[in-house]
Amino acid sequence: MQGGAATGVTFGSVADIGEDLYDKTMDLNLKSVYFTVHKALPYMNDGASVILIGSNAAHRAYPTFTLYGAAKAAVIYFAKGFSNDLLDRKIRVNVISPGTTDTPVFEKFVPAEQLEAVKKHFADSMPVGRIGQPADIGKTAVFLASDDSSFMLGVELLVDGGMTYLSK
């Protein structure tokens, strides 16, 4: 099974994914991040905050998510490296790594009649007892963009309901 390009997730094992799909996945999830920041730098004020999106898949070896997880692990490293590269401009780069979040992506992979059961299955496996909401990610982004996080740079915030470190 392979995920769609719109989701950025390619499902499959190293035995299934060839060079073309590898390149597309890495371009979408890694190259795009690098060059978005690179191209935006001339327009950014000194002291700006950049927020990258990682994934808890960078920390957990989910079956068939190897390539996606590897790309997101590199994004997490980018936050550290970019922060170091941009110290002279006081530009902070941090990363939010969500876990399962209730977004329309579910509808791309799950038949409508199974949607609520699949969401319940995910919620039941979450230490916090629910899947994430877009507002959970948004509130974290607001914090990272604010002066309240001015002492944070190169940091990853896992916003995954405890899945990475406390999973059932």
CA distances from 72 to 92, 143, 152 (A): 19, 21, 20
Is-contact 34 71, C-beta < 8 A?
no
Is-contact 2 66, C-beta < 8 A?
no
Give the residue numbers marked as catalytic: 68
Q: Which phi-psi region, left, alpha or beta, contains residue 161 (left: φ > 0; alpha: ψ -120 to 50)?
A: left
